[in-house]
Chain A
Amino acid sequence: MDESLRQESVLRPMKLSKSKSDESFESIFHEYWQSIHRLLARMVIDPAEAEDLALETFYRLYTYQPARYESVSIRGWLYKVATNLALQSIRSFKRREHYETHAGREALIVADEDSPPQIVAEKEDRDYVRMALGQMNARQAELLIMRYSGVAYKDIAAALNLSPTSIGPLLLRAEREFEQCYRMLVQEAEQ
């Protein structure tokens, strides 16, 4: 079992039946699909992989009911699983190698006459952002991704099993850590 599921101590196997829980699942799917898919599309470069990870996120909700749908923050739970899947993808050796070796190459590929320099720089910058998130402490990376994806503190707190009042200090620490990682990566690339 991977980390994202191991951390979910409240999860238990869901009784799969075509009943109220399925109707509830379908409505949750429709409500959150766009935001979860969008997050993964931002985090993972390959659109096909992003789509697959988004489907996997909902499959995990389908299989492992987090207690009862109505009693937990589904939004926070989905974002946490999606975030973990994205981070796993980024962290995997091949993937990281791909980012590292392709960050420059991708810039060259898209640096044709039709691509304004700022777009090229933006793409390269996002690659460094992804790499920095992948290098950080998992909990800090989760916090940053969830917050900057627009998840409210109370939902983040529920998903990460934290007190809502601790989110501010932890977020600030995570932002400082991120900035350090990011700058180190850029410096390494420039040398």
Chain B
Amino acid sequence: MKNHLDDGQLRAALDGELDSTERKHVEECQECQSRQRMLEAQIRPTADRLRFLSSAHETNLSAPAAWKKFNRVKLAQKETSMFRKLFASPLVKYCASAALVIALILAFPATRALAGELLNLFRVQRVTVVPVDFTGMQQLDGVVGQDISQLISDSVTMQKEPSDPVNVASADEASQLAGFNIRAPQGLTPSRISVMGGASFSFTIDRAKAQALLDEAGRSDLVLPEEVDGADVSVNIPSSVSLAFGTCPEPSNESEAERERQREMETSGSPGRVYADCIILAQIPSPEVSAPASLDIAKLAQIGLEFTGMTSEEAAEFTSTVDWTSTLVVPVPRNAATNQQVAVDGVTGTLIERPSDDAPQFALFWVKDGIIYTIGGLGSNSHKAFEIANSLP
């Protein structure tokens, strides 16, 4: 009989992976059958050794339990990691307040146009959150992230660099240095009061470069409006004051803080354990942003939200439900944090909590009389944030 099968085909025959013609040949060819038996004997020791890979014992973690764990642990861990990376990226390091600025830029629509060519942006009156899937922003880790940082550094002109935090002895001294009257909770003595100097900068949007970055990130479906090209945006961030309660890390720049956090984790465990009793109350007058009236901030916000992974419909729905004239939008990890509106200091605020066995975190935001207040901590004792907030004079 002609066209005998080669060893490779005979090996496939042992797994029942031949086509019908080859199979028919083996069934009718004694020579091939004989060679197949020899081949089978030859590979039997290997097959016996590897057979344990296909044993059908069930594992001790069922699919439903694993699914819960996947959502609880894996996504939360990764999204928190991406959240931290995003805010530790060169994009943000370039200017310590860029995150706030981005949020502010997203916060005001061109429909707030005032007289003249420039749109003067009013003060923040409330805070809301937008759940964001930071896992979808892994592009920021690579070349695209570096390119974005480069684009920003090419476009931004600093008028005033933010200064390092300065520790002061009293709330009065902090008020004097910061230039606004700070509120210190009654009956509680802060372990430290720090004043961070303000900053101001401006930038010009280069649409072609920004669009090229979106394309590079694989999001050429997101198209920046033509009118953004050449738009000048200026930002003025006032001085801020922070009051620390309990054992807190020293205020420092982002990279030092990150190194400190790593050291603490290596030696003593997570920050949630090391600084479990640390609570920081921060106060800052609303920053001011000026942008051309022609700049459709709502449209840019929609593009930004879609970039993070929202569908077009979800982004449109979110942008339509937010009062863009006076709302500071804070991005939080979708699967790693919960948020709720709460009554605090006589107004409505927002409580963000990141439950975790290892490193729980919380942040309480609210705005009152033109001042943005934040109380944050690394433990799970968010009730203390309310005690502090409600004891403000």
**Which residues of chain A have a CB within 8 Å of any CB of chain B?**
12-17, 19, 26, 29-30, 33-34, 37-39, 41-43, 47, 51, 54-56, 58-59, 62-63, 125-126, 129, 144-145, 147-150, 152-153, 164-172, 175, 178-179, 182
Is B1 close to A, CB under 8 A? no
Is B8 close to A, CB under 8 A? yes
Which one of B8, B53, B62 contacts A145 once the chains associate, using CB atoms below 8 Å? B53
- Taking a contact as CB atoms under 8 Å apart, the answer to whether A17 and B67 are in contact is no
Q: How far is the CA of A39 from the CA of B302 in the complex (A)?
A: 43
> What per-residue 1/0 map shows which CB atoms of B37-52 lie under 8 Å from chain A?
0010001011101111
Is B63 close to A, CB under 8 A? yes
16 A-B pairs (CB sep. < 8 Å): A12-B218, A16-B136, A17-B309, A37-B59, A47-B60, A55-B69, A55-B70, A56-B74, A126-B52, A144-B50, A145-B53, A148-B47, A148-B53, A153-B12, A168-B17, A175-B46
- Taking a contact as CB atoms under 8 Å apart, the answer to whether A150 and B138 are in contact is no
Known contacts A12-B218, A38-B59: does B53 contact A182 (CB below 8 Å)?
Answer: no
Q: How far is the CA of A168 from the CA of B13 in the complex (A)?
A: 8
- Taking a contact as CB atoms under 8 Å apart, the answer to whether A125 and B49 are in contact is yes
The 4 closest A-B pairs by CB, nearest first: A169-B8, A168-B12, A16-B309, A148-B50
- Taking a contact as CB atoms under 8 Å apart, the answer to whether A29 and B53 are in contact is no
Which one of A15, A51, A179 contacts B45 once the chains associate, using CB atoms below 8 Å? A179
- Taking a contact as CB atoms under 8 Å apart, the answer to whether B59 and A34 are in contact is yes
Min distance, Cβ B315 to any Cβ of chain A, angstroms: 10
Min distance, Cβ A25 to any Cβ of chain B, angstroms: 10
Contacts of A33 in B (CB 8 A): 61, 63, 66-67
- Taking a contact as CB atoms under 8 Å apart, the answer to whether B310 and A59 are in contact is no
Min distance, Cβ A65 to any Cβ of chain B, angstroms: 11
Is B15 close to A, CB under 8 A? yes
Contacts of A51 in B (CB 8 A): 61, 66
Known contacts A12-B218, A168-B8, A171-B11: does B63 contact A29 (CB below 8 Å)?
Answer: yes
Contacts of A43 in B (CB 8 A): 53
Using CB atoms, name the residue of chain B closest to A146: B53
Within 8 A of A (CB), among B159-217: 217
Is B133 close to A, CB under 8 A? yes
- Taking a contact as CB atoms under 8 Å apart, the answer to whether B66 and A13 are in contact is no
Known contacts A16-B136, A168-B9: does B63 contact A182 (CB below 8 Å)?
Answer: no
Contacts of B7 in A (CB 8 A): 169, 172
- Taking a contact as CB atoms under 8 Å apart, the answer to whether B12 and A178 are in contact is no
Contacts of A171 in B (CB 8 A): 8, 11-12
Is B73 close to A, CB under 8 A? yes
Is B314 close to A, CB under 8 A? yes
Is B78 close to A, CB under 8 A? yes
Min distance, Cβ A94 to any Cβ of chain B, angstroms: 18
Min distance, Cβ B82 to any Cβ of chain A, angstroms: 10
Using CB atoms, name the residue of chain B closest to A33: B63
- Taking a contact as CB atoms under 8 Å apart, the answer to whether B51 and A148 are in contact is yes
Is B236 close to A, CB under 8 A? no
Min distance, Cβ B45 to any Cβ of chain A, angstroms: 7
Q: How far is the CA of A179 from the CA of B8 in the complex (A)?
A: 17
Using CB atoms, name the residue of chain B closest to A168: B12
Is B153 close to A, CB under 8 A? no
Apart from A56-B74, A168-B12, A172-B7, list 19 A-B contacts with CB within 8 A: A15-B311, A16-B135, A17-B314, A29-B67, A33-B63, A33-B67, A38-B57, A41-B59, A42-B53, A42-B55, A47-B60, A55-B70, A59-B70, A148-B53, A153-B12, A153-B15, A167-B12, A169-B7, A172-B11
- Taking a contact as CB atoms under 8 Å apart, the answer to whether B50 and A129 are in contact is yes
Contacts of A148 in B (CB 8 A): 47, 50-51, 53-54
Q: How far is the CA of A13 from the CA of B216 in the complex (A)?
A: 12
Is B58 close to A, CB under 8 A? yes
- Taking a contact as CB atoms under 8 Å apart, the answer to whether B45 and A37 are in contact is no
Using CB atoms, name the residue of chain A closest to B307: A15
Which one of B51, B63, B73, B311 contacts A34 once the chains associate, using CB atoms below 8 Å? B63
Contacts of B393 in A (CB 8 A): none
Contacts of A62 in B (CB 8 A): 75, 135
- Taking a contact as CB atoms under 8 Å apart, the answer to whether A168 and B136 are in contact is no
Is B6 close to A, CB under 8 A? yes
Known contacts A29-B70, A168-B17, A179-B45: does B136 contact A14 (CB below 8 Å)?
Answer: yes
